Amino acid sequence: MTTVTLITGTRKGIGRHLAEHYLARGHRVIGCSRQPADLDHEHYRHFEADVADEASVKALFTAVRKDYGRLDNLINNAGIASMNHSLLTPVETVRRVMDTNLTGAFLFAREAAKIMQKNKYGRIVNFTTVAVALNLEGEAAYVASKAAVEALTRVMARELAIYGITVNAVGPVPIETDLIRSVPKDKIANLVARQAIKRLGTLPDVSNVVDFFLQPDSGFVSGQVIYLGGV
């Protein structure tokens, strides 16, 4: 049976890496982003969708159900950041960040679990950040949205356990992606200094943890958050 893996935010960065990583391992990969992706592979299918838009998300899952008939793994990678002091953060930014990071993760997990419960098997991996554990200043909205994702991870782990579905989260340190390109160098250096292992993360550091959560042998691991860098 071929493994079907759905990854959100696959146009670039970590999501793109994960899509290529699992395609290389023989998975059928379904990806999505708001814009088209240039990832061309016979086993890759791309959807253009805003993860926080319920109608588009439901349409995507209808296609998954009809075309693949199953879903083994969901990787809720899509996310946006806002690097702003709370006093300088417009409310619209807070809403946008919460919508993409929390509502998006919620909608995908909910719809994925509806398909997974049928087979009594599923793996859901959410994305958080070490900034939650570090209470990192300058990212209040982003950190709050990811703290909510961690709570969602723990509660859904309990709710979905009965269906053989595990829900876990990985919290990367800064990695060279678009998300941190706009962050001042000294901010990144400060963050790295607070890690036990003081270097930037790499894409394989992230896929290694995701690999662990996705393994069929990890069926007894749920509701957990693994931070990179020894945070």
Partner 1 sequence: MIDELVQLISVSTRELATEQGIDVPQSLDAGTRLFGEGGLLDSMALVSLVIAVEQALEDKYSVAVALADEKALSQRSSPYRTIGTLAAYAAQELSARKAG
Q: Which of 62, 86, 135, 215 binds partner 1 (CB under 8 A)?
A: 62
Out of 84, 117, 190, 202, name the contact with partner 1 by CB under 8 A: 117
How many residues can be counted in the chain?
231
Helices (H), 75-181: 91-98, 104-119, 130-133, 140-160, 178-181
**Residue with Cβ nearer partner 1 (64 or 206):** 64
The verdict on 85 binding partner 1 (CB under 8 A) reads: no
Name which of 118 and 194 has its Cβ closer to partner 1.
118
- CA 170, distance to chain mean position in Å, is 8
Are 163 and 114 in contact by the 8 Å Cβ rule? The answer is: no
- Residue 55 binds partner 1, judged by CB under 8 A: yes
Least distance between partner 1 and beta carbon 162 (Å): 6
Query: Residue 85 or 114: which CB sits closer to partner 1?
Result: 114
Q: Is there binding between residue 58 and partner 1 (CB under 8 A)?
A: yes
Q: Residue 48: beta bridge partners?
A: 33
Does 63 contact partner 1 by CB under 8 A? Answer: no
Residue found by looking up tokens 């160098």 in the block: 185
Q: Which two tokens stand for residue 56?
A: 């588009």
88 is a contact residue toward partner 1 (CB under 8 A): no
Q: Which of 22, 44, 142, 227 is catalytic?
A: 142
Give backbone dihedrals phi and psi of 196, rounded to 5 degrees, phi first.
-70, -40
Cα 121 from Cα 152, distance rounded (Å): 19
Active site annotation includes 163? no
Nearer to partner 1 by C-beta: 59 or 189? Answer: 59
Torsion (CA) 222, 76, 19, 33 in degrees, nearest 10: 170
Tell which one of 162, 193, 196, 220 touches partner 1 (CB under 8 A).
Answer: 162
* Residues annotated as catalytic (active site), given as ranges: 142
Residues binding partner 1 (CB under 8 A): 55, 58-59, 62, 65, 114, 117-118, 162
